[in-house]
């Protein structure tokens, strides 16, 4: 049985943490689709060729969680040819037996519009910048990270191809005032309820 959970949202909203926890809880496979774009951005050279030839080794390289990799991902993600090259990989992953959870920015709208569960995880720009700043080991100043978060939001929301937005039937999960445990629990409740109705 395939069961797809699509988790979208802006940078540092908590979607990755929630997705990994959901995958462990329900025994689903997990794909952080942002890593695909980070890997393409960090490979250098022609990003379209990099996307078409992406390997599992590329996804395992060091530094993919850095601020620089995030910036590189946002720059290559605006290229329609890069997105097209990575769509099939993501859709195949989503349909695997046993269930899958994918997190990104266009999972519920473009990659898996028929997903059984769609969550849109968000938080204020200030909260997300603080999280990203702490996650990066406080490299650079908080104000600089906040500016990067806002610039990335503008690029992701404003891009012509697959912009960041919540699917009409997505459940909004605002984590601004939530602890990690509270956010995970809220997501688990939604998924458990959907699984129960399918049983």
**Is residue 76 within 8 Å of residue 40, measured between CB atoms?**
yes
The tokens describing 133, both together, are: 């700043």
Tell me if 137 is assigned to a ligand binding site. Answer: no
Tell me if 15 is assigned to a ligand binding site. Answer: yes
For the packed helices 180-198 and 15-26, what is the interaxial angle rounded to 10 degrees? Answer: 50
For the packed helices 67-76 and 33-43, what is the interaxial angle rounded to 10 degrees? Answer: 90
Q: Burial letters for 78-114: b for 16+ Cβ neighbours within 10 Å, e otherwise?
A: bbeebbebbeeebeebbeeeebbbbbbbbbbbbbbee
Helix (H, G, I), strand (E, B) or coil at 8: strand
Angle at 165 between CA 1 and CA 161, to 5 degrees: 95
Tell me if 9 is assigned to a ligand binding site. Answer: yes
Tell me if 11 is assigned to a ligand binding site. Answer: yes
Tell me if 17 is assigned to a ligand binding site. Answer: yes
Tell me if 192 is assigned to a ligand binding site. Answer: no
Q: Could you tell me which residues are annotated as the binding site for ATP?
A: 9-17
Q: Could you tell me which residues are annotated as the binding site?
A: 9-17
């Amino acid at each position: 049985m395939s069961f797809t959970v699509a988790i979208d949202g802006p940078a540092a909203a908590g979607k990755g943490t929630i997705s990994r926890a959901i995958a462990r809880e329900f025994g689903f496979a997990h794909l952080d689709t942002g890593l695909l774009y980070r890997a393409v951005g960090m490979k250098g050279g022609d990003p379209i060729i990099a996307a078409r030839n992406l390997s599992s080794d590329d996804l395992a390289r060091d530094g993919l969680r850095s601020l620089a990799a995030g910036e590189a991902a946002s720059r290559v993600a605006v290229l329609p040819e890069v997105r097209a090259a990575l769509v099939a990989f993501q859709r195949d992953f989503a349909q695997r037996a046993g269930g899958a959870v994918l997190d990104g920015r266009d999972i519920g709208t473009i990659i898996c519009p028929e997903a059984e569960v769609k969550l849109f995880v968000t938080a204020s720009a200030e909260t997300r910048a603080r999280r990203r700043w702490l996650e990066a080991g406080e490299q650079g100043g908080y104000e600089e990270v906040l500016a990067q978060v806002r610039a990335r939001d503008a690029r992701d929301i404003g891009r012509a191809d697959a912009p960041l937005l919540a699917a009409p039937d997505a459940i909004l999960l605002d984590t601004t005032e939530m602890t990690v445990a509270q956010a995970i629990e809220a997501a688990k409740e939604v998924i458990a309820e959907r699984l129960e109705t399918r049983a």
